[in-house]
Each structure stands twice: as C-alpha cells, then as structure tokens.
Structure 1
Amino acid sequence: MTATTVLAAGVALLGSLLFALGAAVQQYEAVRAERPGLTALVRRPRWLLGGVSIAAGGVLHILALSLGPLTIVQPMGVASLLFALPIAAALHGRKPARGELAAAAVVSSGLIGLVLIVPAPTGSPSLSTPDAVILLGVAALVALMLWGAARGANPSWRAGLLAMSAGVLYGAAATLTRVLVDGAWEWWFLLALPAPLLIALALLQRAYAVGHFGVSFATLQLADPLTAIAFGALLLDEPLPTGLTGTVTAAVAAVLTAAGTFALARTTPLTR
C-alpha cells in the first residue's frame, strides 16, 4: 500500500465512525421522542448533531474516494454497522451482545462482497425526463408498498421494512444525484431531489423509533446501494457483474447479508 492509499483507508474509517455515531444518536433521540416525526425531532439539538455527524461522515467518504481505490474505501464504509451497534448500546446503557456483533460482522461481510463485485461506472450518465419519472415513480411505489406492509408487522419486521422503504428512496436519490453531478439532466431534477430525501429521512426515524436499531441500520445499508445499482443498470446503462465468479460471489454475499440481518432481528432490541 502507498501512503495515499493508507490515508484513504484511514479517512474512510473515520467517516464510517462519524456516520455510525450520527445514526446511533438519531436513533436514541427517535426512541425517546413522544412522536418520531421530523417536526418533533428537528427541535432536539442532539438529533441535529447526529445529522451533522452523518453529513461529516459522508464528506469524509467522498474525500477518501478521491484519495484511494474503491476496493479499499468501500469496505471501510461498510464498517459503520460494526461501529454503530456498540455506540447505540452504550447510549442505551448496556453492552452489545455477542450475538449482535457476530450478526453485524456477517452482514458487513456480505455487504462488502456486494459492493466490491459491481464494476465501476464508466462514462457520463444521461437521464431523460421519461426515465427520471420512471425512477421517481417506481421508487415511490415500492417505498409506499413497504410502508404499508410495515404497518401490520411485528416490531423487528416493522423496523426492517421501514428502513428498506427509506433505503429505496435514498438509492433513487443517489442515482439522481449521480446524474446531476456527472451527467446530462433537466432543470426540474434539482426540484425533485429534496422530496425523496426528506421522505426517506422521516421513514428512517420511524424505523429507528421501533427500537431494533441493528435491523433498521443493516437493512438501510443493504437497500440503499442495491437500489442505486439496480436503477443505474436499468436507466443509466451501468455495468453489472458478469460470469460465473461474479454470480457466485453475489449469491454468497446476498445469503450472508440476509442471514446476518435475520440474526439481528432475533437479538435483544435496543429499547425496553
């Protein structure tokens, strides 16, 4: 490793720590709030500080990507789950269970496999108005269906479904952001971007308020990138893994991620 690569890994790891800290703080505040809506949470200073920490983590992740290769930086980003569970447990006044940490490690291993087998995008993406409408419409429909399913689910499933709903909207917003930064786009894309981000944030806080932080955070980390990858392949013509090795790796990574998330659902929730 060169010194720059080591620096990139360190910056990405610090970014993951800040992202995990912010998520844990926001979950703690969402659980304690009488109502988990955004209008109530934005009045809580610690919840806002959590948002600042998440934003700082995102900036450091972008900086790390500018310093080092994706294969080094992305696994460090996935490590936020391993940081988040001990931090959240400490905020709630308990120690993380071994089962939680083991399940989180399994989920992280699967996520690393999934993010690393996807080829890096090439060229400048282009999104037409009809495709942008499809992007936002499909994401909104899927998110709505997941939200509806969450209403009658047990607590662990409710946390996961709400977080998945948020992750789908975040993934759609990430796809739109990639076009805004690097590609060809229409003026109304800028006006459309805040809506999925705000709705996703509100859904995520409701997921956090359920109490199963490990499930909601792991599901978010899975749904967000997979949605962006899917939309990138369908609408932006970005490459997907090919060949037997890529298929087998994707299948194993998916099994690990699913198994770890289900294991997290069976552990003790972070609230009484």
Structure 2
Amino acid sequence: MPPDVTDLADELFRSPLVAIGIPLALVGAIFLSLGAQFQHRGVTKVETRLGDGSRAGLSLRQVMHLFGRPSWVIGTVMLGLAVLFQLSSLGFAPLIVVQPIGVVALVVTAILNARVSRIRLDRRAIRAIVLCVGGVGAFVVVAAIFAVERRIDDRALIIVLGMLGVLTVIVAAVFLVVRRRSGALFAIIAAGSLFGFVATLAKVVINRVLGGQFDALTIVAIVALLTAAALGGYLVQTAYQLGSPDLVIAGLTVVDPLVAVLVGAFVLGEAALMPLPAALIGVAAGAVAVIGVVKLAKHHPQTHR
C-alpha cells in the first residue's frame, strides 16, 4: 500500500534532525549557484582570450587554461562544497524534504546573473523560472513520496550500463556533427542526461560496496560513472560558453532528476507502488519543467542583448 500523506508528514517532522538537514540543503543550493556563476566567468574569460569565434565547444587548450583561471577554480571548489552539503543534508532529512530545495539554486543563480550582467529579468524569463521550479519541485516530491527502495541486481545494473553506453555514443556523435550549430540547450540537455545516469550509478556503486559486493561489474560501473561525469562536465563548460549560468542551472536541475527518476522507475522498479494518478501528476509536472527550460532558452534577456 502506498504511504498515507498524513503519516508521511508526521514521520518527516517528528525528528528534530530535519531542522539540520533543511539549512544544509539550502547552503548547498547557494554554493551550487555561486559555483555556476564563477565557473561561467572563468569560461567567458578563456573564450574571450583564446576563442576563435566559432563557439563550437571548448578546445583542449581552452580546457587546460581553465585551471589557471582563479574564478573557474573557485567555482569548482564551490561546486564541490555544494555536493558535500547536499550529501550531508541527506543524512539528517528525508529525500522528499531535501531534494526539492536544490531548485533554489536556479532562483539564486538567476538573480545573481541578472545583477552581474546588469540585465533586468523580464516577465517571460520570470515565468519560465517559475515553471522550472514548480515543475521539478512537484515532480521530485511525487516521486519521493511513492518511490520504494529495491535491491539492484546484476541484470538491472547491466541494463543501466547499456543505456548509458548508447546515450554516450549518441551524445558524442551528435555533438561532433552539430557542434558549430548547436546552442546551449543541446549541451545542457546532454549533460543533464549524463548526470542523471551518474547519480543512478553512484547510488548503485555505494549500495554494492556497502553490501560487500565489489566485483568486476562494480568496477565497470565506476569506470562508466567517471567517464559520464567527465563528458557531462565538459558539456557543462561548453554550455557556459554558449549560454548564461542560470540557463545552465535551470536545465540541469530539471533534466538530471528527470532522467534519474525515470531510470529508477522503469529499470530499478522504484515506482512499482506508485498509483496511476500520482504517475500522471509526475509526468505533467515534468512536462511543465521542461517547457520552462525551453522558454528560458528562448526568452532569456541575455539572448536579446
């Protein structure tokens, strides 16, 4: 039987430790937004200095120069702190409380970027941000309420690895073909999709290691996780080259959890107990969030400067 919402709420707020998890998650979201802003600044400076004007993705030379940009290094450290705070918050509060708080990063980044760029957010951009935040928040809440934890066997892990392999080949091939014509949206969607699999594999690896199941398949999963994370990280830097930091954060905070939840639902069986009405609400909320990202890409004030 699915959990009763009232009982779930009572369980969530019965423990005073939740009061620790919520501010930790908020701090993590702030570090995420600040890290995006600093990394974007570093990428922009490298592009201005070493770019050839094609804006076709960062070259190896540009990537190496990023490590010499203090702003980019500071942003990377802040993103590391964001991950640390997010993981710590999960130790004190349930996922249903912590996960939606990450969307705060989108709001903070949008405000920061508007102030830094001295661009006023117009009504269309604000509506797009509201759609992103509301859609992904509702989607994650519904998924967290009805999701069930299941043992991940070798068959499920092999399917996930196969899906990630196909996705990686498609992303790499498409990027090489359309890199001179693709905008920030492609890089964001591709990076978010890869990071969704990274989150799934991280969960699988942690469970297998804690369960004493460190075998050859686990090593393959670790290699695949690191490869996807590296490619996703490169695409994020490329997205900074092509778009604004709040657009990047908007895409990642929508696509990443969508992919992770879909893989968890249909491959790992975590939505086996989700009733049809809840599933329909989740699908609708996800669609609203995606529409918000598309609108933000089309109507962001920076695209009209």
Offset of 1:225 from its aligned partner? 1.5
Are 2:241 and 1:237 aligned? no
Which of 165, 174, 179 aligns to 1:137? It is: 165
Which of 269, 280, 293 aligns to 1:248? It is: 280
Partner of 2:20: 7
Between 1:109-118 and 1:207-216, the stretch displaced more is 207-216
Q: Report the CA distance shift for 1:257/1:55 in structure 2 as closer, same or farther (over 3 A).
A: same
Q: Residue type of the partner of 1:219? A: G
Three-state SS of the structure 2 residue aligned to 1:193 is: helix
- Separation of aligned partners in 1, 2:26 and 2:133: 14
1:100-130 per-position Cα deviation (integer Å, ceiling 9, x unaligned): 3332122110001111111334133234574
Question: How much is the aligned-residue C-alpha RMSD, in angstroms?
Answer: 2.6
Partner of 1:190: 222
- Separation of aligned partners in 2, 1:29 and 1:59: 22
Offset of 1:270 from its aligned partner? 7.0
Are 2:231 and 1:199 aligned? yes
- Sequence identity of aligned pairs in percent? 24
Q: Residue type of the partner of 2:19? A: V
Which of 99, 119, 124 aligns to 2:151? It is: 124
Q: Report the CA distance shift for 1:138/1:105 in structure 2 as closer, same or farther (over 3 A).
A: same
Q: Residue type of the partner of 2:246? A: G
Are 2:91 and 1:66 aligned? yes
- Separation of aligned partners in 2, 1:232 and 1:251: 14
TM-score by length of 1: 0.87
Q: Residue type of the partner of 1:268? A: P
Is the Cα–Cα contact under 8 Å of residues 113 and 246 in structure 2 kept in the other structure? no
Is the Cα–Cα contact under 8 Å of residues 196 and 255 in structure 2 kept in the other structure? yes
Offset of 1:210 from its aligned partner? 0.9
Partner of 2:6: none
Is the Cα–Cα contact under 8 Å of residues 199 and 260 in structure 2 kept in the other structure? yes
Query: Higher relative contact order by CA 8 Å / sep ≥ 6: 1 or 2?
Result: 2
Between 1:251-260 and 1:69-78, the stretch displaced more is 251-260
Is the Cα–Cα contact under 8 Å of residues 40 and 244 in structure 2 kept in the other structure? no
Q: List aligned pairs for 1:75-224, cutoff 5 A.
A: 75-118=100-143, 119-128=146-155, 130-131=158-159, 133-144=161-172, 147=175, 151=179, 153=181, 158-183=183-208, 184=213, 185-224=217-256
- Separation of aligned partners in 2, 1:142 and 1:182: 29
Q: Residue type of the partner of 1:144? A: A
- Separation of aligned partners in 2, 1:164 and 1:49: 25
Higher-Rg structure is: 2
Q: Report the CA distance shift for 1:229/1:255 in structure 2 as closer, same or farther (over 3 A).
A: closer
Q: Report the CA distance shift for 1:62/1:159 in structure 2 as closer, same or farther (over 3 A).
A: same
Three-state SS of the structure 1 residue aligned to 2:91 is: helix
Partner of 1:227: 259
Q: Report the CA distance shift for 1:220/1:25 in structure 2 as closer, same or farther (over 3 A).
A: same
- Separation of aligned partners in 2, 1:43 and 1:120: 44
Q: Residue type of the partner of 1:252? A: A
Q: Report the CA distance shift for 1:189/1:218 in structure 2 as closer, same or farther (over 3 A).
A: same
Q: Residue type of the partner of 2:96? A: T
Specify every segment of 5 or more residues in structure 1 that has no aligned partner in the other structure, as ranges: none
